[in-house]
A and B are shown apart, each in its own frame.
Chain A
Amino acid sequence: MGSPTSSVIAPGSNGAEALRFADVWIGFDEGPILRGLSFSLETGETLVLLGETGTGKTLTLKLAAGLLRPDSGTVRALGQEISAKSERELLHFRRQVGFVFQEGALFDSLTVGENVAYRLEEDGVPAEEIAPRVQEVLRFVELEHTGERLPSELSGGMRRRVSIARALIGRPPIVLYDSPTAGLDPITSQTIITLILRLRDVYRVTSVLATHRLQDGFALANFHFDPKMRTVRRGASNDKTGPAVTRFLVLRDGQIYFEGSPEEMLNTKDRYLQRFLI
Chain B
Amino acid sequence: MPETPLQITHPQSDDAGTPSVTEVLTDAAKHSVLQVQDYARLSYQSIASLFTPPRYGQDTIQQMDDIGVGSLPIVLLSGFFIGAVMVLQTGSQFQRFGQVSLTGDIVSLALVRELGPSITGLLVAGRCASGIASELGSMQVTEQVDAMRAMGTDPGRKLVSPRVLASLIVVPLLTTISVFIGLVGGMVASVFSLRLSATTFWQRAIAILEFSDLMQGFTKSVVFGFILSTVGCYQGLNVRGGTQGVGRATTQAVVVSSVLIIVADTFLTRLALFLADKL
List residues of chain A with CB under 8 Å of any chain B CB.
62, 65, 67, 87-88, 91-92, 94-95, 97, 99, 101-103, 105-108, 118-119, 122, 166, 170, 271-272
Query: Which of B70-78, B149-157, B208-216, B258-266 touches A?
Result: B149-157
B 143-162 contacts with A by CB, 8 A: 143-144, 146-154
- Show 23 residue pairs from A and B whose CB-CB distance is below 8 angstroms, ordered by the A residue: A67-B149, A91-B149, A91-B153, A94-B151, A97-B150, A99-B147, A101-B143, A101-B147, A102-B143, A103-B142, A103-B143, A105-B142, A105-B143, A105-B146, A105-B147, A106-B147, A108-B144, A118-B151, A122-B54, A122-B152, A122-B153, A166-B151, A271-B3
Known contacts A105-B142, A105-B143, A107-B144; A99/B150 CB under 8 A: yes
Q: Which residues of A contact B147 (CB under 8 A)?
A: 99, 101, 105-107
Closest-CB distance, A59 to chain B (whole angstroms): 12
Interface pair A119/B151, CB less than 8 Å apart: yes
Closest-CB distance, A15 to chain B (whole angstroms): 27
Name the residue on B nearest A93 (C-beta): B152
Number of interface residues of B (CB under 8 A): 17
Q: Which residues of B contact A122 (CB under 8 A)?
A: 54, 151-153
Name the residue on A nearest B5 (C-beta): A275
Closest-CB distance, B160 to chain A (whole angstroms): 14
Name the residue on A nearest B3 (C-beta): A271
Known contacts A99-B147, A101-B147, A271-B3; A108/B153 CB under 8 A: no
Q: Which residues of A contact B146 (CB under 8 A)?
A: 62, 67, 101, 105
How many angstroms from the CA of A86 to the CA of B150 in the assembled complex? Answer: 15
Q: Which residues of A contact B154 (CB under 8 A)?
A: 87-88, 91
Closest-CB distance, A80 to chain B (whole angstroms): 14
Q: Which residues of A contact B139 (CB under 8 A)?
A: 107
How many angstroms from the CA of A122 to the CA of B149 in the assembled complex? Answer: 12
Closest-CB distance, A85 to chain B (whole angstroms): 13
Interface pair B150/A94, CB less than 8 Å apart: yes
Q: Which residues of B contact A101 (CB under 8 A)?
A: 143, 146-147, 150
Interface pair B150/A65, CB less than 8 Å apart: yes
Q: Which residues of A contact B153 (CB under 8 A)?
A: 91, 122
Q: Which residues of A contact B149 (CB under 8 A)?
A: 67, 91, 94
Name the residue on A nearest B156 (C-beta): A87
* Partner of A95 from B1, B54, B148, B151 at Cβ < 8 Å: B151
Name the 5 nearest CB pairs between A and B, nearest first. A105-B147, A105-B143, A95-B152, A99-B150, A94-B152
Q: Which residues of A contact B144 (CB under 8 A)?
A: 105-108
How many angstroms from the CA of A170 to the CA of B150 in the assembled complex? Answer: 11
Interface pair A119/B152, CB less than 8 Å apart: yes
8 extra interface residue pairs, beta carbon distance < 8 Å, beyond A87-B154, A91-B154, A101-B146: A62-B146, A67-B149, A101-B143, A105-B142, A105-B146, A106-B147, A108-B138, A122-B151
Q: Which residues of B contact A95 (CB under 8 A)?
A: 151-152
Interface pair B152/A67, CB less than 8 Å apart: no
